[in-house]
Structure 1
């Protein structure tokens, strides 16, 4: 097969918003104050031409460096046989070059590409098709669960695979944000429609909150239920993400799950009436990765930045070494100021969003 399908992903324009800092004397020399940082609107991603190419061929094998892999590879070569899986007649997408230990990377890249290819191929061929995703042999269990929950077939191998190989080609300076909301509007396995509308997503491990319990209690008083996504299955996380109206989330891969939110699809939805997302950002890793959610989910985004320490300031402004997200201070815990968080809640007009009455309020599976 030799096939080329082309489409155009719509542009997205990010709305102006705000970020609120930890109180600092950099804002007022005698009295620490919250800096209210204006983030102007901008065109995040222009209109993006995309080509889905299908070619019947072998994929590349994964080039692993372990002695065990080298022994297997050498044995196969000496035997004179070509070690490969035969998927003749099947569409296959090789995602083995993706970071398979990060759910956000898998959703944003591997799943987005597979779902886009499935959509275009089904429309072109006039029938429902499946695109199987190739993952490494020892891919983490959560990655297997992720694809299974989306109904995407997977092939786990380090060797070559023969079949109708799908490639998604575009300007890789940009993401496919403009079509993601549509692609992830899918039926979810084991979907639970009765999760809370206000949720808080903290982190364990790296970049966790120093004053986590304080923030949990603060948000509990304002109607939020706390969930640790590390403890939940894919269907549980995606149910929470699909139903939420207001989210406070420590920045991380877990935030990527909110691409499944469906508020934007409400009948006669007004502009900006979708998901309201407040991200708690480490001062050593302030990044606007999910700011585009405010646009593609017809909602609103703002940030709350944690306390800047002397170590963080030296690292950010006076250290010329390349950034490493796995090392200190980027991976270190940080502290969030409650007055900054309250300003973000006020900016998002949280009090104007009504909660269900107490007797009808859905019961969550988290704490709080």
Structure 2
């Protein structure tokens, strides 16, 4: 694409300090050969460096973006079909990113859309022809039009100098803090337990839920509630116990320096939401589940990093209690809502 930049905005580079924290494990004989015990793992602080991101508008075709998404038939169709001209709107082509994983949209595409809205008055987000309803709903809620097509587009394209999923960590508070949330539900609980169904669920979920009730937590399955309600819950929450998963990506919206206890399968511990919580000024710690006999063989010796990414796990209640105490969360029978 050789056309000149018509307009642009720059998100200046930032450093994000991620505080030291802890992870509490399921009792294991790795801690004591004679009696299983909880390991308290110290996690050091570190610094996230995020370079500047320039959001720019240039006249041209999405053919120059070299979109890699879509099946072979969609790619052939795009190659053989003339580009579709779109006038009267700025074009944000998000087909380079998955629209089936809300975490990728909330941390990658949506921040780019919000940054572009600083200089573009009318934006159309382009999705693949068979895009998910959740993707279309998200962009409509944010005031953008949606165009679902496998064709290339000719028009005023919104481009970013960085397209990595986590390029926008440093600007979540700024970008999402400017959203108009007056129409959202402000009466959601301060303490929530985000559970999961099916993949990556908790084997002893009912036990965990009953324990957390004494601390005033209310359970949610985010897959069962509308996007707008998910955003309301994530925005208002002050304390969350949540199973690792895409639902936690909504914390980019949080305005209360949230405390998050993230529940992991011991074979799939990652730092994505530790980074997000740090970026919004909150506090994070982890609880990992019961170690299984095949874990070390698959994870360390075979180096299958995602082997246990969707595997259910069992959480130890005493480990969870240690995490609550570490974040200075006291038991209470009440669960107050966020005031208007």
TM-score, with structure 2 as normaliser: 0.89
**1:214 alignment counterpart:** 207
Alignment of 1:273-288 (within 5 A): 274-288=257-271
C-alpha spacing 1:131/1:158, structure 2 compared with 1 (3 Å): same
Alignment of 1:263-274 (within 5 A): 263=256, 274=257
CA distance in 2, matches of 1:64, 1:293: 29
Aligned residues: 330
CA distance in 2, matches of 1:57, 1:70: 19
| Equivalent residue in structure 1 for 2:60, among 57, 62, 65 | 57
What SS class does the counterpart of residue 37 from structure 1 fall into?
strand
CA distance in 1, matches of 2:76, 2:155: 26
Alignment of 1:132-147 (within 5 A): 132-147=124-139
Unaligned regions of 5+ residues in structure 2, if any? none
**1:19 alignment counterpart:** 23
1:54-100 deviation digits (Å, cap 9, x = unpaired): 21111138674466x589679xx5xxxx5433222421111101111
CA distance in 1, matches of 2:70, 2:288: 39
CA distance in 2, matches of 1:137, 1:188: 30
What SS class does the counterpart of residue 214 from structure 1 fall into?
helix
1:232 is aligned to 2:215: no
CA distance in 1, matches of 2:265, 2:291: 9
**2:4 alignment counterpart:** 2
Shift of 1:161: 1.2
Shift of 1:137: 1.2
1:204 is aligned to 2:197: yes
C-alpha spacing 1:70/1:247, structure 2 compared with 1 (3 Å): closer
Unaligned regions of 5+ residues in structure 1, if any? 123-128, 264-273, 364-368
**1:159 alignment counterpart:** 151
CA distance in 2, matches of 1:253, 1:164: 31
1:199-252 deviation digits (Å, cap 9, x = unpaired): 000111211111111111111122100000010100110111111110000000
TM-score, with structure 1 as normaliser: 0.83
| Equivalent residue in structure 2 for 1:345, among 307, 312, 324 | 324
1:299 is aligned to 2:282: yes
1:183 is aligned to 2:183: no
Alignment of 1:325-336 (within 5 A): 325=306, 328-336=307-315
What SS class does the counterpart of residue 131 from structure 2 fall into?
coil
1:223 is aligned to 2:221: no
What SS class does the counterpart of residue 87 from structure 2 fall into?
strand
CA distance in 2, matches of 1:113, 1:12: 19
My pick for the range that moved more, 221-230 or 188-197, is: 188-197
1:312 is aligned to 2:313: no
CA distance in 1, matches of 2:47, 2:18: 6
